[in-house]
Structure 1
Amino acid sequence: MSLEEGRRIHEQIKQCGSEWNIFVASSLVDMYAKCGNIEDAWKLFNSMATHDVVSWNAMILGFVKCGKAQNALDLFREIQWEGVQLVAVTFIGVLNACSDLCALEEGRPIHTQVVQSGCESDNFVSNSLVDMYSKCRCMEDAQRVFEMMPTHDVVSSNAMILDYVKCGKGRRGLELYQQMHLEGVDPDHVAFVMVVNACASIMALNEGRHIHEQIVQNGFESDVIVGNSLVDMYAKCGNMETAQSVFQRMPTHNVFAWNAMILGYFKCGQGKIALEVYQQMQQEGVQPDSVTFVGVLNACASVMALEEGRHIHERIIQSGYESDAFVRKSLKDMYAKCGSIHNVHKLSNRMPK
């Protein structure tokens, strides 16, 4: 439903005098929250004489969706003061709020309430617990909840793989991906992105090739995000030939794919080709970001391409990246390695350290 259509229906409800029926009012709160109009949802919620679990849950989920996780946590405390019966949806909303805030101290007692209510067997609640502990960097607790789940779905498995990669445990992420297969959980495009990232993090080229085959078999190679991850994985593993092959087959290229190619060629000692890739990126009209500039400046430094570096510096100024700490450092390094000490001093004198 669109917000405008919802407003029209709300006006009809007012005319019928049904706005203060608790079930109708709760549905309206839910509608406004799901449409992203949290202000009208909150205004209507506060005007209600009494609240049911539907209206409480609608507001908690609405706050989380709108990036107001602290408001969701505050409302959850109010629910408990009111003695409202907590259900699975309530826990999902408030655990997602804890995840967004990395609020472990609030999350642990909520986990206790989940167990006491018998909702831990709900896969969606357990997924939220896994996500909360993972984002709070409590991987042992996340693993414990994950292992206690009666069944695993692709959502919980993806969350675990992602957070193993973030914690520098790419090998454990690969093992979990194999466990998914043994349990008959079909990977989606997110799962493939996660496990390819795991391969990239530990430079597991052989495993990455096998997963690439599975990606092709499942028809996900044309997915831009999956393609980006494959290019990045092959580039980080030093296999630029295959990275280039995957890159060329992609239907579109975003800045992430271009950056992977530029950084990959630079790290393989092919700075000149990295600069050529940057020129192709420019021709396609893709806007460079700070990662792009760091990559091409390092490439300039590696092949002593001072004139090219000066042109890139001009583009950096135009793009507003000269004050970026990593770009600034790469600029100084490029000028220093190319023997232009005067420009190093200029940068040091006019830019924040």
Structure 2
Amino acid sequence: MITVKFGGTSLADAQHIRHAAEIIRSNPERRFVVVSAPGKRFSEDIKITDMLIRFQSSGAPRDFLPIEERFEEIIRELGITLDLSADYAEMRNEPHNADYMASCGEYLSARIMAAYLDWPFVDTEFCVFFDEKGRLDRRRTKQALQEKLGGLEHAVLPGYYGAMPDGQVHTFSRGGSDISGALVAAAMGADVYENWTDVDGMLTADPRIVSQAVTIPAITYAELQEMTYQGATVLHEDAVRPAWDAGIPIHICNTFHPEAAGTWIRSENVLHENPVTGVAGRKGFSIILIEKEKMNAMVGYVRKTLSCLEHHQVPFFREQ
């Protein structure tokens, strides 16, 4: 059984959604589908999620029509019968928090994909849960997903969001639909978690910087987690752990080049032809070197030093 997740670029318009649906239908083992909000159709376009965030902003003109027209165009071109007018009215008129508005793109995208596939729609608002501090409640989430999906042969779910204990919608960080897909795969005991994006897989380096970068055929969970933490953007760094814990292989695939081998992520060690798996980097990353005489004899010195980083909400990484 395969759980699949499609990113925003793969669902940017009706033609892309139609192509993604062909991929899903080409293998009957693809049973559970998690989708992102529609991404850019061309380089100057605006992602749906960014449009929703701008709409929510009090300093921006509150015009929901361009968002509504974008989805209605997709519905018309797909030739499906789907009335989302009540959803548009609620999103447009009711006072909502920022997370709710940011999640609407995934919700509408999933409604459309479910209608096009003629599969059940399952809202992750009622099966992905966070605690009072906004941390994922994995135990409760797994139980709820199993209850909601256990009796279904197929289902389409929106990624990126769930609910707080008080019922308010809460989102993962941007790109969090990858996490949603991994949670569904883990809960349902999938044999494979396919993550469909717009590249052939994990590359050895950023192709915008290194023109000779090539696809990594196989990589371990630990290597992938390290690369995503250091700036590789093919997969959200927090999507690794649910699949890792469940021992589910992740397969990075290209929606626009489905015949490509992609990149496989597994727990076992992978023998690489090259001694270096890949190279990644991120901005806003600094190394601090502290030297002080007899520092090793001062009790509490490290704690006091790191408390400065904690005060300014700076994550600390200790080199192994």
Do both share a fold (TM > 0.5)? no
Larger Rg: 1
Structure having the larger proportion of residues in strand: 2
Between the two structures, name the one with larger relative contact order (CA 8 Å, sep ≥ 6). Answer: 2
| TM-score normalised over the length of structure 1 | 0.29
